[in-house]
Amino acid sequence: MRKLISVLLVLAMILAIMPAALADGAPEPITLTVFRGDPGDQPAEDNKIYKLIEEKFGVKFEFEFLAGDLDEKLGLMIAGEDYPDLFDGGNSADLIISNGALINLLDYVNPEDTPRLWAHIEPQKARLIDKDEDGNDVLYIIPNYGLTDGDQIVNEVNGPAFFVQKQVLAWAGYPQIHTLNEYFDLIEKFIEANPTDENGSPYVGFDILCEDWRHFCLINPVQHLMGRPNDGEVYICVTDQNYAVTGNDPSEEFKTETFIDKPYAKAYYQKLNEEFHKGLISKDTFVMNYDQYIAQLSSGTVLGMFDQTWDFGNATAALKDAKMDKNTYVALGLVYDPEYVDGQEIEEHYVNGSLPNVRRGFGISVNCECPERIVAMWEEMLSDEWQIIFNWGIEGEDYYVEDGRLLMTEEQYMQRNDNAWKVQNRALAFFESSPKKQGWILDGEFAGNAWDPANQPEIVLGLMNDYDKEFLSAYGYSKFADFVNPPIELAPYGEAWQIDYTPVDVDHQDFLNIQDKRLPELIMCDPAEFDAKWDAFVEEITPSATAFGEYMQEAVRAEAAKVLDK
């Protein structure tokens, strides 16, 4: 009965706002062109979720995934105004926004016509809704992630961290590793005792991915070693932690600076220089593309790296498929040893409060001939029924229900990590960039369950493989997020990487280009030359760092003031 009511509702909505509907009430078949600003897998022709979407909404998709450089690809599309219907600009979404490629969704999203979408964005609308040059409210992208219902669920670190293979910690007797020196000392000792794996392949101590926008693996660690969550390419501290008591304007208290040109950054790259000359870092790491990096991680020979969990999910899935659980990774929230920061004891805060993924996800392009139809589809897809389909699949095939709990057998859950299964049975190419519910199901038939099966308590604990259960038990932990501190309160400005850099695009790009070129040189140079090369690097980057840093200081304060004022 629920399915019948749901179908009738969506058909009524489509008929109400779409004159293109057929006379018999069925939605007119259309094909939407879709661009995703990251690599991906084409879904199978007979994918069951896309078939269901086609049946219910009359919509098919033609997907194009990123191949090559993102900014170059977007530049070509902008130059020719060759835009798809659904447009995900990835980490360069500001490019397509500033060049007028996307429509203002507020022309279609409002409390009366799209109550689900409005309720979805309303708690974070101060962060999501901007002003255009005429002072009008604009919303170009509804975030694909980070709009969470209920308390934030943190079972594992999904963002930035220093990672180490579980077998390394097990070999050392399950030590607590909190500082940079402890981390590299552990890897050094493991390789000294175990130079190759059981197949005779040599271990790599530490990989550094530098390709394109993923150069955050090379650049970003410094701010985290200083104890901060991810603010992109700046380090931010609150100069007055008691501003609520003192009455000072909190937006004026966020001290923002570029970190890559500071003495505390030098300490990290000098440490990498030492590890490079000990043989723990391969020269190949600086020329690897993303696919090569994932292949190396998937082989089980890379002991550690700095990255974000979501970025190497395919490698994790490959290791699990191969039953190489000991070669999967633990996220560690490392900080600097006091010797690197004038004796300062740094407190680790890698995990932030629940953060909307501002300007990340699908926008609807100005070339789309049926924006109202896409919005109507999104509105219906935020129903409980469709969110369960996207997250859990089809009842009886992909999950089962017992006493009101959404559950999976071990086989059902493990198949979710199989790439061949996913292209047949999940609609990830569409769902990953679309508006979605996260966190806890707050009401209705399945209230108290998690939207994402990976966060469902029975699955987190009950279906964890034996190796991971024993590994956590050795530490006295119940989940892998226990290796880091709990989330801190999200700052009013959000996270600074979400701020639009377009006004200082030239300086910002120069700032990044110098880092991409010089940091690998610093890591590989003769240790005797490091100090001189560091000084030359700082001198070279200072003009662009100064321009970018000054802009970000004002932008961070403006973002904080915007949220606090509302």
If one counts every other C-beta atom within 10 angstroms of the C-beta of residue 24, the result is 5
| Cβ proximity of 152 and 353 under 8 Å | yes
pLDDT band at 166 (very low <50, low <70, confident <90, very high): very high
Rounded Cα distance between 464 and 328, Å, is 13
pLDDT band at 12 (very low <50, low <70, confident <90, very high): very low
pLDDT band at 315 (very low <50, low <70, confident <90, very high): very high
Average pLDDT over residues 541-562: 94
Asked whether the predicted pLDDT for residue 69 surpasses 50, the reply is yes
Query: Percentage of residues in the chain with pLDDT exceeding 70?
Result: 93
| Cβ proximity of 491 and 228 under 8 Å | no
How would you write 39-62 as a 3-class SS string? CCCCCCCCCHHHHHHHHHHCEEEE
Rounded Cα distance between 101 and 88, Å, is 11
User: Can you give the residue ranges of every domain in the chain?
Assistant: 2-152+355-452, 160-350+499-565
Q: Following DSSP, what letter does each residue of 217-256 receive, concatenated?
A: HHHTHHHHHTT----TTEEEEES-TTHHHH---GGG-EEE
Q: From start to end of 284-364, where are the E strands?
A: 304-308, 329-332, 363-364
| Cβ proximity of 370 and 57 under 8 Å | no
Rounded Cα distance between 207 and 33, Å, is 37
Q: Using DSSP bridges, classify how beta strands 30-36 and 363-364 pair: parallel, antiparallel or unpaired.
A: unpaired
What would be the CATH architecture of the domain defined by 2-152+355-452? 3-Layer(aba) Sandwich (3.40)
Q: Which 3 state secondary structure label does DSSP give 360?
A: coil
Average pLDDT over residues 231-253: 69
pLDDT band at 502 (very low <50, low <70, confident <90, very high): confident
pTM of the model: 0.80
What would be the CATH architecture of the domain defined by 160-350+499-565? 3-Layer(aba) Sandwich (3.40)
Residue 137 pairs with which residues in a beta bridge?
131
Query: Percentage of residues in the chain with pLDDT exceeding 90?
Result: 81
Asked whether the predicted pLDDT for residue 10 surpasses 80, the reply is no
The reply to whether 2-152+355-452 and 160-350+499-565 are identical in fold is: yes
pLDDT higher for 247 or 341?
Answer: 341
pLDDT digits (tens, 9 = 90+) for 444-456: 999 999 999 999 9
Asked whether the predicted pLDDT for residue 161 surpasses 90, the reply is yes
CB proximity list for 503: less than 8 A, separation 6 or greater: 551
Average pLDDT over residues 104-110: 98
pLDDT digits (tens, 9 = 90+) for 465-498: 899 999 999 999 999 999 999 999 889 899 999 8
Instruction: Say what the pLDDT of residue 355 is.
Output: 84
pLDDT digits (tens, 9 = 90+) for 70-101: 999 999 999 999 999 999 999 899 999 999 99
Kindly state the tokens that stand for 403.
Answer: 């006493």
